[in-house]
């Protein structure tokens, strides 16, 4: 299995996209990270191979998202994480474009006890597929813009973009 990467310009800055390629399974996207994102590589690892062609569908779909032409992603995904985290990340896929829910609501949607809200928050914060898996749509219990690994300004921009009110906003 080979890890491949590319970068793309975005309103949030240069995004780093990585994925895996192998003969048996083909390509799968493993991470999308933004500049200054907590707990994420800022640069490709030394053994990663540049491969813009393998990542072209992801770049194209992200460009369409930023242009307001795409509301959902259709990509093979293979994020690395525990079973619990993968279950929470998969639940993020069910949050409709332009809407938000709380960490408690996400816990419920993922079949977790309301007491698991901190663990759910930790899983959301560790989401390696920024934007693709819309962790920016998860809010605090009181509707506040709590934690986002790429920063609250990025979260605010993404939510404004999805609500259609991002015209003129600069990140």
Query: Could you give the residue numbers annotated as active site?
Result: 135
Per the listing, tokens 């977790």 go with 112
Residue 136 CA to residue 124 CA, distance in Å, equals: 9
Residue 117 CA to residue 131 CA, distance in Å, equals: 21
Cβ neighbors of 90 (< 8 A, separation 6 or more) are 110
**Strand, coil or helix: 17:** strand
CB atoms within 10 A of CB 32: 28
Q: What is the DSSP letter of 105?
A: H
């Amino acid at each position: 299995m080979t890890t491949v990467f590319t970068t793309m310009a975005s309103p949030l800055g240069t995004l780093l996209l990585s994925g895996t390629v192998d003969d048996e399974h083909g390509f799968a996207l493993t991470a999308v990270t933004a500049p200054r994102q907590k707990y994420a590589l800022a640069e490709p690892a030394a053994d990663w191979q540049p491969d813009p062609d393998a990542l072209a569908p992801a770049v194209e779909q992200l460009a369409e998202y930023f242009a307001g032409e795409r509301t959902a992603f259709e990509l093979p995904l293979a994020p690395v994480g525990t079973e619990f985290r993968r279950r929470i990340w998969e639940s993020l896929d069910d949050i409709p474009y332009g809407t938000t829910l709380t960490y408690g609501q996400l816990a419920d949607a993922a079949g977790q006890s309301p007491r698991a809200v901190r663990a759910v928050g930790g899983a959301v914060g560790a989401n390696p597929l920024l934007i693709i898996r819309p962790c920016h749509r998860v809010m605090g219990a009181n509707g506040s813009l709590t934690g986002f690994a790429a920063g609250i300004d990025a979260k605010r921009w993404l939510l404004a973009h999805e609500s259609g009110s991002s015209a003129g906003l600069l990140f």
